Chains A and B, each alone.
Chain A
Amino acid sequence: AQSVTQLGSHVSVSEGALVLLRCNYSSSVPPYLFWYVQYPNQGLQLLLKYTSAATLVKGINGFEAEFKKSETSFHLTKPSAHMSDAAEYFCAVRALNSGGSNYKLTFGKGTLLTVNP
Chain B
Amino acid sequence: DGGITQSPKYLFRKEGQNVTLSCEQNLNHDAMYWYRQDPGQGLRLIYYSQIVNDFQKGDIAEGYSVSREKKESFPLTVTSAQKNPTAFYLCASLRQGVGEAFFGQGTRLTVV
Residues on A lying within 8 angstroms of B by beta carbon are: 6, 9, 32, 34, 36, 41-46, 49, 51, 90, 92, 100-101, 103-110
Contacts and interface: CB of A to CB of B under 8 A. Distances in A.
Interface of B: 4, 30-31, 33, 35, 40-45, 48, 50, 56, 58, 88, 90, 92, 94, 97-98, 100-106, 108
A107 B42 contact: yes
10 contacts: A32-B98, A36-B103, A43-B4, A43-B106, A44-B43, A49-B100, A51-B98, A104-B58, A107-B42, A107-B44
Q: Is the interface of B mostly helix, strand, loop or mixed?
A: strand
A103 B48 contact: yes
B42 A100 contact: no
Contacts of B43: 44, 90, 107, 110
A108 B42 contact: yes
